[in-house]
Amino acid sequence: MKILTKTILFSTILAFHNAVLFGGKVVVSGDFKNAIGEQVYVFAYADFLSLKETSLAKTIIDQNGHFELTFDINTLQPIIVDIAFYRQFIYVEPFNTYHIQSEKFQVIQNGNPYIPESFIDAKVTSRSLSDSIFRQLEIHISQFLDTAGVKIYSQHRSDLVENFRQNIWKNLPENLTENYKNAIAFRLACLYPNAQLPDGYSSLNEIAIDYNNYEYFRWLEDYLQKQLFKENSLNVQSVITRNLMLALNKSDSFHSLQDTLSEILSVRNEAANELYTLVALKILYSTPMFSNTKIIADLQQIRDSSLIETHKLIAQNLLN
C-alpha cells in the first residue's frame, strides 16, 4: 500500500498556497479538441448537506477546442465541470486558476454522471495544489480500502484505519494551512468502522458548525449514520431505533426528534441540534421503518420556522 508522501502530495505547498479566509473568483479553462461546439457547465453544491447542484457558469467550447469560465466561490470545495453530461470533479479554492485538458476525451453520446465511464478524467493543472492534494488523497484512500476494506468493516478493525491515518499525518508538513488540515482530518475520520471524531477532538461538543466546509458535512453525515445505527436498525428491539421512531411519530413538531437526538448525542447547543436534526432527517428518509411523510413534514417545519437562514435553505434544498 502506498502512503501519501511529501514529495508526491504536499511538496511545494508553501510556495503556492496561502490560507483563504474569504471568497473570491475562480477561473477554469480547458482544451478539448474533440468536443468543439459542446456546452460546458460548472456546477457547485448549493449546500454541503443536500448536495443540490447549482450552476455557476456556462459557455461553449470554441473552434479551437478551448473554453474559459469565471465564477465566485466562498471556500475550498469541489466543483463539477460538465460536458454533455460527462463530468470532471475539481477541488478548487478562491483566487485561483485551473486548467483541464484531455487529448482522448470525445463526446460519443450523452454521458451518465452516475457511472464511472462518464467521468472525463482530464489532467488538471494549477498553481494551487487543492485539486492534486484531494485527488491524491482519494486515490490513496481507495487503494487502502481495496486492500483492507473487508477486514475493517467486517471485523471492525479500527486499528488498521488508525495506522493509515497516522501514516498520512506523519507525512504532512507541520505548517500546512488550517483549512487543508481540517478538511483532511474530517475526511479521514469517515474511514473508521464506528462513529469517529476527527483527529484533535475528544467530544462532539468541541466541533464548531462549519457551513463552508464540504468535508465537515461529509463527515457529519457519516458520523450520525454510524451513531444512530450502531445497533441493528432493522431490529425492533434496537433502543436507539425505537426511540427515533417514537420521537418522529409521536409529535407534530420536529422538536421531539431534535430533543431525542440531543440525548443520544449528548449535545445541548440549540443551533447544532437543529443542524443534526436536518442531517438525521436526510439519513432516516432512506432508511426502512421511518415515515417519509413525517420526515417531509419536519423538514417543512424547519424551513418555515427556523431562526437560522442556512438551516432554512438546507431544509428547502432537501425537500426539492
Q: For residues 60-86, give the mean pLDDT.
A: 97
User: Which amino acid, 85?
Assistant: F
Provide the pLDDT confidence category of residue 151 given band limits of 50, 70 and 90.
very high
Q: Find the mean pLDDT for residues 169-177.
A: 79
Radius of gyration of the chain (CA): 21
pLDDT of residue 222: 98
Mean pLDDT of 49-60: 98
Handedness of CA 110, 116, 119, 122 (dihedral sign): negative
Q: Which helix (H) or strand (E) holds 79?
A: strand 77-83
Q: Which set of grid coordinates corresponds to residue 136?
A: 491524491
Distance of alpha carbon 75 from alpha carbon 94, whole angstroms: 6
Q: Does the pLDDT at position 173 exceed 90?
A: no
Cα angle 210, 257, 222; round to 5: 45
How does residue 232 score in pLDDT terms, banded at 50, 70 and 90? low
Q: What's the pLDDT score for residue 231?
A: 66
- Helix 239-249 vs helix 292-305: angle between axes, to the nearest 10 degrees? 60
- Total Cβ atoms within 10 A of residue 210: 17
Asked whether 247 and 277 are in contact (CB, 8 A), the reply is no
Kind of pairing, strands 77-83 and 123-126? unpaired
Question: Would you say 59 and 68 are in contact if contact means Cβ atoms under 8 Å apart?
Answer: yes
Residue 12 has pLDDT above 50, yes or no: no
Per-residue pLDDT tens for 19-49?
Answer: 334 589 999 999 999 999 999 999 999 999 9
Architecture label for domain 18-128:
Sandwich (2.60)
State residue 19's pLDDT score.
Answer: 37
Distant-in-sequence, close-in-space partners of 208: CB < 8 Å, separation ≥ 6: none
Residues 90-103 have pLDDT tens digits of 999 999 999 999 98
Neighbours of 305 (CB within 10 A): 13
